[in-house]
Structure 1
Amino acid sequence: MANAEGVLDGITDWAVGLMETLGAPGAGLAVALENLFPPLPSEIILPLAGFTASKGDMNLIAAVVWTTIGSLVGALALYLVGAGIGRERLLRIAARLPLVKVSDIEKTEAWFHRHGTKAIFFGRMIPIFRSLISIPAGVERMPILPFLVYTTLGSLIWNSAFIAAGYLLGENWSVVETYVGVYSRGVVAVVGLAFVVWLVLRIRTNRRQRREPQLSMVEPGVYRSDRR
């Protein structure tokens, strides 16, 4: 527990240093790095920017604008990572992974083609997925203009809400992290449970498929015995 608090204090001091040195652009830089390195929590950086604005050390609108630009820059960098990986390479990687089927990737692709814009927009407001959602967009070469528009809109809502909370809470800005931490842990729990369910079902399916060829070798209705 003490170690976790020490890490959070270190992140806070680092973010404060950036904002003191660069102002609102420093907040944008911190958010851009948060997109690339998810362990840097936006629920600390954004309310802290709002608190800084409440003291008059930063313009509130500038904080929203620069952090949204930072979100966009970070998301675009991950989009390019996904584009660099590409669909064919991803399929080759999937084919080598145990329990993963190429059809899983193809189903995900079909889903993304149908719901990609909504995934980008709402994904920017879900911990963990906020950053990762940009990678499949790049892999699928989602048209860049819709990607930028929906990333900007989703990021603007998320950033504005947290900066406003920090602005209104003032010295108590860290309360935001406490409540969002519960939300984040809930998301992690749901994702973990979904993965466990998928893993169990996939193992059962693989075992059943391995048994079926053996059963098919025995002609139905025929009793085999070595006894004469």
Structure 2
Amino acid sequence: MGEWVRELIEQSGYLGVAFLMLAETVFPPIPSEVIMSLAGLQAAKGSLSLVGVILCGTAGAMLGNVFWYLLARALGLQRFKPLIDRFGRWLTMDWAEVERGEKWFRTHGAAFVFFGRLMPTIRSLVSIPAGLLRMSLSRFLFWSTLGTLGWTTLLATAGYVLGQRYTMVDEYIGPASTAIIILLVLWYFWRVLTWRPSR
């Protein structure tokens, strides 16, 4: 798969980087750490510029982020109320918790979006709560772009510096992504076992 990504970037340049990051965000077939580290490698070879790679990767990812945000916002949280009322235990929440979450998000939503974009696995999910909880589009765009820019800069720069050893990026970030998934699964089961409806 890495070879296919490399070929697409070599043939399509900046457009290929943007397309791959858009595809990764909408339907993650290829990890962003592979895409951006390979793009950074191409910049190190001189066929692309590092700044151009970072900007195009960020732009592609943000198109995908906005897609999920607008979709979640169009759906709206109220549509899920019957499901939450009926399957609260398995969703590990009731409507009172959702309302508390809305209040928390109004205060801390910017930090959630920014730091969420810098975390493997979680970064792909950030747009959905932001859209469902109706975070303003301007705030979402600002903090999401800032976080996404930080992530793409980190990966592309790592690929640029490491050169042919770019696979080290995935070797480090891959286990971190797996660890986050395991922690989320454990947290979910703990919530199911200990969950009680709000009084």
Same fold (TM over 0.5): yes
Q: Select which of 85, 93, 103 maps to 2:75.
A: 85
Q: Select which of 149, 155, 163 maps to 1:156.
A: 149
Q: Select which of 195, 199, 203 maps to 2:192.
A: 199
Residues 63-102 of structure 1, C-alpha deviations (whole Å, 9 max, x = no match): 0110010121110000011112102112233223251422
Partner of 1:53: 43
| C-alpha spacing 1:39/1:103, structure 2 compared with 1 (3 Å) | farther
* Residue type at the aligned position of 2:37: P
Matched ranges for 1:1-228 at <5 A: 10=1, 12-99=2-89, 100=91, 101-202=94-195, 205=196
- Asked if 1 retains the 8 angstrom alpha-carbon contact of 2:77 and 2:132, the reply is yes
* Residue type at the aligned position of 2:101: T
Following the alignment from structure 1 to structure 2, what is the Cα–Cα distance between the partners of residues 181 and 144?
31
* Residue type at the aligned position of 2:110: T
* Residue type at the aligned position of 2:184: V
* Residue type at the aligned position of 2:57: T
Following the alignment from structure 1 to structure 2, what is the Cα–Cα distance between the partners of residues 198 and 65?
39
Q: Percent same amino acid among aligned pairs? A: 34
TM-score of the two chains, using structure 2 as the length reference: 0.91
* Residue type at the aligned position of 1:63: V
Runs of 5+ unmatched residues, structure 1: 1-9, 210-228
Runs of 5+ unmatched residues, structure 2: none
- Asked if 2 retains the 8 angstrom alpha-carbon contact of 1:94 and 1:105, the reply is no
Following the alignment from structure 1 to structure 2, what is the Cα–Cα distance between the partners of residues 86 and 117?
19
Q: How big is the shift at 1:114?
A: 1.8
TM-score of the two chains, using structure 1 as the length reference: 0.80
SS in 1 for 2:47: coil
* Residue type at the aligned position of 2:142: V
SS in 2 for 1:126: coil
Q: How big is the shift at 1:40?
A: 2.2
Aligned residues: 195
Partner of 1:226: none
Following the alignment from structure 1 to structure 2, what is the Cα–Cα distance between the partners of residues 18 and 26?
6
- Asked if 1 retains the 8 angstrom alpha-carbon contact of 2:23 and 2:29, the reply is no
SS in 2 for 1:46: helix
Q: Which has the higher contact order (CA 8 A, sep 6+)?
A: 2
Following the alignment from structure 1 to structure 2, what is the Cα–Cα distance between the partners of residues 94 and 58?
49
Q: How big is the shift at 1:20?
A: 2.1
Following the alignment from structure 1 to structure 2, what is the Cα–Cα distance between the partners of residues 93 and 36?
25
* Residue type at the aligned position of 1:57: S
Which of the pair has more CA radius of gyration? 1
After superposition, the CA RMSD in angstroms is: 1.7
- Asked if 2 retains the 8 angstrom alpha-carbon contact of 1:29 and 1:70, the reply is yes
Q: How big is the shift at 1:17?
A: 3.0
